[in-house]
Structure 1
Amino acid sequence: MHIRNPVEWSVDQLRLAGHAVESIGQHRRGMDMPAPAVRRIGYADIRDALAKGLEDFAAFRTDVASLCVIYPLAGLVLARLAFGYDLLPLVFPLVSGFALIGPIAAVGLYEMSRRREQTGDGSWADAFDLFRSPSFGAIVGLGVVLLALFLLWLGAAMTIYDMTLGPEPPASITGFARDVLTTARGWAMIVIGIGVGFLFALLAFSISVVSFPLLIDREVGIATAVMTSLRAVIANPGPMAVWGLVVAGLLVLGSIPALLGLIVVMPTLGHATWHLYRKVVAH
């Protein structure tokens, strides 16, 4: 058997990605398929999805941890850039923005859980099978939408800072913290920022909670995937609200120790999201 070197393997993956992008036009026929039925779920389904997500994380062990180490590293790099360019007010928006773009980073985890569900086994290499998927173009397209929301959130956060504590950048970390926590303008920034951030998070959550897993699982169009996700949220307001709070809470906890907790939190949530999708969308 011929063992390919990393260069050969990378070239093959790029070729597969090119084929997938070329298939976007062919993928449009999925837009004509009937929308999947949405089930009502309960709070027990949330617990079960989390339990299965932990099982997948345990099954893949260091494979997943190694794949997801990029999350905290990326966050730290972004934070460092913010410090270096006097953008200290954007550190929290950058970190919290993980909630907006998390579904993009987790698509490989969905595929790993799908493969393990089908075969009882799998590895991190399964994540790269997405390059072969006819839905790859749609996944990229929806990812661009979430990335745009992320950038809009950063712009909104900077505008809120300019209207409250700005427009001059803070002179120091301690001075910034003091202004935020001990002044009326600082608390105004917190309240307005949380409110606006909630709206961004709600929109991103509603259009993506099951859309990415659906695109991986079936050949449907972006519009069908997004509408199915919205219908899932509308049909299950209570459980979906709890799931959103669980995601937000775990991301906060994972971010506290220098973002290192995200090595465990992100893959667990990614795997759990796949199992939640399986419960919500009828097959």
Structure 2
Amino acid sequence: MIRNTVFPSDTIDTEALPAVRRIEPAHLRRALRLGWDDFLAKRGDLLFVGVLYPLVGLLVAVVTVGDRLLPLFFPLVAGLSILGPLVAAGFYEIARRRADGDEAGWSHFLDPLQPARRHGVLAIGAMLIVLFFAWLLIAWTLYEATLGRLEPQGVEGFLRALFTTPEGWTLILLGNAAGALIAALTLALTVVSVPMAVDKPVSGVAAVRTSIRAVTANPGVMLRWGLIVAALLVAGTIPLFIGLAVVLPVLGYATWHLYGMLVER
């Protein structure tokens, strides 16, 4: 059961923030079911959009196969999830229009970039791009401080050093810890903010503040949602990122419905 009166908006804000709700794990399952329903209803004209993201992943694989850039392969692939909420803005719009009983199709996918709403979406997008490059900088710094000292050569040498040396295991542990922190930060900043910016004209600051408030009101449930998203994204990369063509639209639709459960529209 959603509790409606928890964490009302701050009265001292120059831009009024909506009230956020406390939700339960059952709402996550409901959001995923609704997201799947949206995907089944709209898969014909949106499936190829989901394929774009796997193609980007394959491009990353091609670009980073080299002695110098190879250490950035995994950070680049993992870091694409930071930009995922921005890519999903079109799916939020389709789900919004379908939920409101409006016409929903490919022609509306770029509606979030219309003048009335694009400022919030673009502001959050700029924030995510900065976060993406910050993650790459962190990943490269960790590599240079650990495995980079061994100067492994080629793919085989890199993998051997990564899994058979203390420096390699240190990189794995520190890299995954840093990645988990970045992922948690991305979730807190965007789980509500991007859908909110798609839903109505709002500043990026107000949308991000609302997202943080929604996450702090539901820390356990949001942690579970983050783990679900991570698991589905990993599953979607097997094999060759093809599964993301289904996972990304479903998660996009589901996140829209989760936003409606967390925030009073």
Q: TM-score, normalization: structure 2?
A: 0.91
Q: Mind listing any 5+ residue stretches in structure 1 that lack a counterpart?
A: 1-30
Given candidates 242, 245, 268, the residue that maps to 2:227 is 245
Distance 2:225 2:185 in 1: 14
CA RMSD of aligned residues (A): 1.5
User: Deviation at 1:132?
Assistant: 2.2
- Change in Cα spacing, 1:51 to 1:169, as seen in structure 2 (3 Å) is farther
Deviations 1:159-210 (A, max 9, x none): 1111111057531212211111111111000000011111111111111110
SS in 1 for 2:152: coil
Distance 2:100 2:115 in 1: 16
**1:87 matches 2:69:** yes
Distance 2:195 2:151 in 1: 41
2:6 aligned residue: none
Distance 2:44 2:68 in 1: 37
Which piece of structure 1 moves more, 164-173 or 66-75?
164-173
Aligned ranges 1:1-283 → 2 under 5 Å: 32-84=14-66, 86-119=68-101, 121-167=103-149, 170-283=152-265
Whether contact under 8 Å (1:104, 1:143) holds in the other structure is: yes
Deviations 1:86-145 (A, max 9, x none): 311111111111221100100000000001111265212211222324120221111011
1:20 aligned residue: none
Distance 1:124 1:45 in 2: 28
User: Deviation at 1:33?
Assistant: 3.3
Distance 1:168 1:144 in 2: 36
User: Deviation at 1:85?
Assistant: 6.4
The amino acid across from 2:178 in the alignment is V
The amino acid across from 2:195 in the alignment is P
User: Deviation at 1:256?
Assistant: 2.1
The amino acid across from 2:35 in the alignment is G
User: Deviation at 1:32?
Assistant: 3.7
Whether contact under 8 Å (1:86, 1:169) holds in the other structure is: no
The amino acid across from 1:207 in the alignment is L
Q: TM-score, normalization: structure 1?
A: 0.86
Which piece of structure 1 moves more, 134-143 or 100-109?
134-143
Q: Mind listing any 5+ residue stretches in structure 2 that lack a counterpart?
A: 1-12
Identity level (%): 45
Aligned residues: 253
Whether contact under 8 Å (2:147, 2:171) holds in the other structure is: yes
